Structure 1
């Protein structure tokens, strides 16, 4: 996304515009008003006396509102402008804009104020792929008090209705006013843009999708409640305090309410392309944020359980017990031109669902949810054993069944070239990646606890523990790359190792599948020069054939990835190494104004004064918003333990004092405190 674009959002709705507030969609800058995977406005351009306006500044007031200060004319000749134009914009269940014009001149002025409006009703996939191929009818209806834009294809209908105060003249291309302003007079109008999404049976799918309320005051109140409910983080490290606060607000903005389950929210994956539910992304974000926003975990688990796979469907890659990968509501999904209705092509969401349920109970004590989701959890475990082992050797494998539009790589590194051998070749299918085996191990260990303590099934618990132990032994035999002393990124069906050094080994640590004697070598790799850039751990080690510091999964640094790696290092006792990684990510956050991006360049820190931006990274992005929270948990050593909260801090050198106040859990609310060591302390040690 271009740096000149402004984004405001509220869960199910978001707007991407220029710094003037104008929306003018192009293939290079995919601006628009978007909701439920459809662009409802592709043109929204304000002119005064036929002239476009120039921005003086804009205020990013809250995630759901912005204010633009404009003057007439081009940037070269507005110095002595006699008019000020202010656009105040907010999104919620609809899109609202207040337009104010002030006359600073000593004489009256006559103005022609016009808003050009239009919509291509593009599916988000069409926008992303820069291919607009509408098969239905776009229509425009001009009424006395409103302008209606619409698109119809069979029983699929999307509409944008525009209504403004002040009695404008509507036409097919927008609306206009002819006004006269006296000296020092101001003129003001309000514009409401309502969107409608009609599905089968004529039902408006947007009814009830008021994730956080209708009006600005309701949105403000909701945000205040959200912040008040979260723990307070006070610290001497200003970058950490800033990125925590920014992440908390961004996480509020990313709360998404599914169409079929209005009123419940889970984290959407990220703006602009992934403002919908993703199984993997939502689960990992909840794991990161559990000590801070535990309510998200409960709703995420219930939503994903409600949409769990129940049949065999090759188009959607659905199996009984499988947790969805992605859900879409646009035209291409409605007409099955792509399978996201929902699509199940993910091999890690299902074991991670079990992991999150157990971790949530450990924090919350919510045994009722564990009982409620017993059937879905057992189905997820059955999927691991019966449907995910495509080769028959006890591992989770993937090979897409939808060969037209399904994902080739169904692990978190899902780009086409992310899984390779050390010579750069891409393996055939099916493929198995290492971190997913760790998730399966962790899921079985955790499910054994649930079965023994809550479901009254000790035999099932014994079986799961036995299977987990066997998996751990088998994995440590088959995946260890002896000459490199690390675990292979993946295996091919013949047992051949994809023997590249990758960040995935850090996920093995947080899952617990690594043997104690091998953990030290992994820790050495993770903070060594091939993987650790100084800003963070690269997805692929420097020196590998496919290494590229700005390759999406082949050398970039992902803050979410690093947060789980640090958590894994801490689990095995490598607190200093975990603190080193945390410090790198926190340092990087300074250069992104506290909002950690999806990914950034993997260049060595000594080569750059600042982390290099990845050009198409999502921002905000859910599991990047969660990264500072998991890093705080890791640095303070905050863990549930026998019904209370244990705290064992190890902070980076020089970080200073940190207070995390009112941490919620089964213990009520408690505080945690820590102080980083000074450099002199480190040298003495």
Structure 2
């Protein structure tokens, strides 16, 4: 949806058209949102009864957009005597500042009208088109319009007000509020300007902020401009002659700043939210992988993610939430449907990968930063996660991680990263039964055990536990290479079905196996060749499913699209096994694709052959910005530079794609302090 404008600030966001207006869409969540609720579903501006025409747009700051408008139609003889600069900012509340500029020689009487409405839709209601069960209110109080919604003790309210400003003669202007919006009138003198501000404050019960009403502590709110400048100053500085990479890198760093989300349980720390518009909340898997990708650039995200995911770690058996002791959450929601347990996201634990990945991130974080205190502080949680792998994760008792939802019908059927209903399939298109054991889950478990052994030996003072984990990892690797390898095809099965038979589709998941290290060295070459084959590699990246599989669809969510995050893990895995040229080829393909999206890699894009389309095709409902897509750029940079922490040193082994003459990354943070890396 490239014609939409997105402005966000962690827990709140607004999606508008290119004029700054919005009205509720049945297919895409336009409007003003905070904490999983749409507080405004209509915000439409007219001047003297006329809609505005968009001349230009500046949305370079994630928390602010500026629209350059005129009250005229686009014609060959376009000659407006007035223009409008509309600046929208979101920072706990939504502000819409209008600067109306006169270019004529005569005074002009203005009627500025803002039509507003709110459906207070839950984000899940928009996706599933369900109806509200509470009641609406509207009233005018002290010159402001209050729109509200209440269902038992769930209460949300938005307050809309207008500041007429001091630039216009107060005797010539006034504002009036009605139940459908507000109207400001005034006389604008020749060559003068009128600045007025329209505001919307999002409130919970007792007219407190939503955060306060949910029991959260207030956030420290520095100037967003200063905060963004500091964020960029702390990130490594990239020097390159490759324009697409330079622009994509800057956009990725900015998007990670924009997606910093402060959960109620995080003690004020900010973690990566998964993506706008559907997933502006903490996601176990997405937050972990994004933090992993960003370690050489923003290691504080990993620290916050480890801390935040440790607090609500599973402690009991709860079928409704798919909760199990030691399990790391999948998703946490605060909207109406969650409050009334119409869906289980308070929190929901329906992912089988977040738990081993939690241990992977903890180890990688310590390797980069030397923060042993974090490893000691969350030893119990890391051990609980490792225990989950061998107990509740091993639902079939054969040493593999399996998943099967217990929270029906609201829970996820597929609890791996390809969590759409048809994401796991056989070559002939059939869908396997449950439980399922996808291949990458076993790779994550192997990696978690290897890393857990290092933590146990070096930090927890438990060499016996370390040796046990290493034995289990070696046994898992041997069994996996026996049970998942499809000899006739020369690649690993996508999964095992409930009978232990191989789910034989060729999919991008095999690249995650290289990242985890579970692939036998003798088979790595065949895996790499499949990943770079025409069936999987589109020219823009590795597809989620090969073209010769029955369910392949170039715009199928997990059955043929290209996912940037997926490709970043594959590229890093290829480097791990020494396939440097193949890794570089993926890196340049994804970076070149980013250029067609103004540097902002979406969640996914079409898997069409590059020679066919000549440009990457948008996936219609992809999240953008999306955290692990922004992080993909960073991990691809790490892969190209071959960055690895070794002891207290940062080691680099560059392998650049064709067309790169120079690549320098300055002030890479880590346990070594700051270090420059060049290729």
> How would you bin the TM-score normalised by the shorter chain?
over 0.9
Q: Aligned partners of 2:324 and 2:10: how far apart in 1?
A: 29
1:404 and 2:412 are equivalent in the alignment: no
Q: Residue 6 of structure 2 aligns with which residue?
A: 7
Query: What does 1:283-682 correspond to in 2, within 5 Å?
Result: 283-674=288-679
Q: Residue 132 of structure 2 aligns with which residue?
A: 134
Q: Aligned partners of 2:206 and 2:310: how far apart in 1?
A: 24
Q: Aligned partners of 1:383 and 1:29: how far apart in 2?
A: 38
Q: Residue 679 of structure 1 aligns with which residue?
A: none
Q: Aligned partners of 2:338 and 2:207: how far apart in 1?
A: 14
Check the 8 A contact 1:281/1:623 in 2, yes or no: yes
Alpha-carbon distance change, 199 to 458 in structure 1, aligned in 2, over 3 angstroms: farther
Q: Aligned partners of 1:122 and 1:99: how far apart in 2?
A: 27
1:170 and 2:169 are equivalent in the alignment: no
Check the 8 A contact 2:216/2:265 in 1, yes or no: no
Check the 8 A contact 1:309/1:323 in 2, yes or no: yes
Q: Aligned partners of 1:41 and 1:299: how far apart in 2?
A: 31
Secondary structure of residue in 1 paired with 2:287: helix
Q: Aligned partners of 2:562 and 2:556: how far apart in 1?
A: 10
Of residues 586-595 and 617-626 in structure 1, the stretch that sits farther from structure 2 once superposed is 586-595
Alpha-carbon distance change, 485 to 212 in structure 1, aligned in 2, over 3 angstroms: farther
Q: Residue 18 of structure 1 aligns with which residue?
A: 17
Structure 1 runs (4+) deviating above 4 angstroms are 199-203, 206-212
Deviation at 1:492, TM superposition (A): 0.8
Deviation at 1:306, TM superposition (A): 0.7
Q: 2:231 aligns with which of 226, 229, 241?
A: 226
Q: Aligned partners of 2:203 and 2:588: how far apart in 1?
A: 46
Deviation at 1:203, TM superposition (A): 8.1
1:196 and 2:195 are equivalent in the alignment: no
Q: Residue 93 of structure 1 aligns with which residue?
A: 92
Q: CA RMSD in A?
A: 1.7
Q: Residue 221 of structure 2 aligns with which residue?
A: 213
Q: Aligned partners of 2:214 and 2:71: how far apart in 1?
A: 37
Deviation at 1:61, TM superposition (A): 3.7
Q: Residue 682 of structure 1 aligns with which residue?
A: none
TM-score (norm 2): 0.96
Q: Aligned partners of 1:29 and 1:567: how far apart in 2?
A: 34
Of residues 354-363 and 579-588 in structure 1, the stretch that sits farther from structure 2 once superposed is 579-588
Secondary structure of residue in 2 paired with 1:51: coil
Q: Residue 118 of structure 2 aligns with which residue?
A: 119
Q: Aligned partners of 1:657 and 1:68: how far apart in 2?
A: 37
Secondary structure of residue in 1 paired with 2:113: strand
Deviation at 1:51, TM superposition (A): 1.8
Deviation at 1:156, TM superposition (A): 0.8
Q: Residue 189 of structure 2 aligns with which residue?
A: 182
Q: Aligned partners of 1:241 and 1:268: how far apart in 2?
A: 24
Secondary structure of residue in 2 paired with 1:101: strand
Deviation at 1:77, TM superposition (A): 8.6
Q: Residue 159 of structure 1 aligns with which residue?
A: 157
Of residues 111-120 and 352-361 in structure 1, the stretch that sits farther from structure 2 once superposed is 111-120
Q: Aligned partners of 1:212 and 1:80: how far apart in 2?
A: 46
Deviation at 1:211, TM superposition (A): 5.4
Of residues 183-192 and 119-128 in structure 1, the stretch that sits farther from structure 2 once superposed is 183-192
Q: Aligned partners of 2:345 and 2:668: how far apart in 1?
A: 37
Of residues 526-535 and 194-203 in structure 1, the stretch that sits farther from structure 2 once superposed is 194-203
1:49 and 2:48 are equivalent in the alignment: yes
Q: Aligned partners of 1:77 and 1:635: how far apart in 2?
A: 49
Q: Aligned partners of 1:441 and 1:507: how far apart in 2?
A: 12
Q: Aligned partners of 1:429 and 1:198: how far apart in 2?
A: 43
Q: Aligned partners of 2:467 and 2:356: how far apart in 1?
A: 18
> Size of the alignment, in residue pairs?
669
Check the 8 A contact 2:32/2:41 in 1, yes or no: yes
Deviation at 1:144, TM superposition (A): 2.7
Unaligned runs of 5+ in 2: 165-173
Q: Aligned partners of 1:257 and 1:375: how far apart in 2?
A: 24
Deviation at 1:358, TM superposition (A): 0.2
Deviation at 1:191, TM superposition (A): 2.3
Deviation at 1:181, TM superposition (A): 1.6
Q: Aligned partners of 2:339 and 2:118: how far apart in 1?
A: 19
Alpha-carbon distance change, 210 to 114 in structure 1, aligned in 2, over 3 angstroms: farther
1:146 and 2:119 are equivalent in the alignment: no
Q: Residue 58 of structure 1 aligns with which residue?
A: 57
Q: Aligned partners of 2:257 and 2:106: how far apart in 1?
A: 47
Q: Aligned partners of 1:416 and 1:127: how far apart in 2?
A: 19
Deviation at 1:153, TM superposition (A): 1.0
TM-score (norm 1): 0.95
Deviation at 1:199, TM superposition (A): 9.2
Deviations 1:182-237 (A, max 9, x none): 222221212221111239999833786765726xxx00000011010011110121
Deviations 1:416-470 (A, max 9, x none): 1111111111011001100000000000000000001100111111111111111
Q: Aligned partners of 1:208 and 1:402: how far apart in 2?
A: 28
Deviations 1:162-184 (A, max 9, x none): 12112521111111122112222
Q: Aligned partners of 1:353 and 1:544: how far apart in 2?
A: 32
Q: Aligned partners of 1:230 and 1:191: how far apart in 2?
A: 35
Deviations 1:305-355 (A, max 9, x none): 011111111111001110000111100000000011110000000000000
1:81 and 2:80 are equivalent in the alignment: yes
Check the 8 A contact 1:107/1:182 in 2, yes or no: yes
Check the 8 A contact 1:196/1:206 in 2, yes or no: no
Check the 8 A contact 1:93/1:209 in 2, yes or no: no
Q: Residue 102 of structure 1 aligns with which residue?
A: 101
Deviations 1:219-262 (A, max 9, x none): 00000110100111101212111111110001100000012335
Secondary structure of residue in 1 paired with 2:52: strand
Unaligned runs of 5+ in 1: 675-685
Alpha-carbon distance change, 76 to 126 in structure 1, aligned in 2, over 3 angstroms: farther
Alpha-carbon distance change, 105 to 210 in structure 1, aligned in 2, over 3 angstroms: farther
Of residues 201-210 and 120-129 in structure 1, the stretch that sits farther from structure 2 once superposed is 201-210
Deviations 1:116-152 (A, max 9, x none): 1221111011122233x11111111201321111111
Check the 8 A contact 1:11/1:211 in 2, yes or no: no
Q: Aligned partners of 2:184 and 2:539: how far apart in 1?
A: 57
Deviations 1:60-118 (A, max 9, x none): 14010011122224334981222212211101111112112122222222222111122
Q: Residue 34 of structure 2 aligns with which residue?
A: 35
Deviation at 1:20, TM superposition (A): 1.1
Check the 8 A contact 1:160/1:196 in 2, yes or no: yes
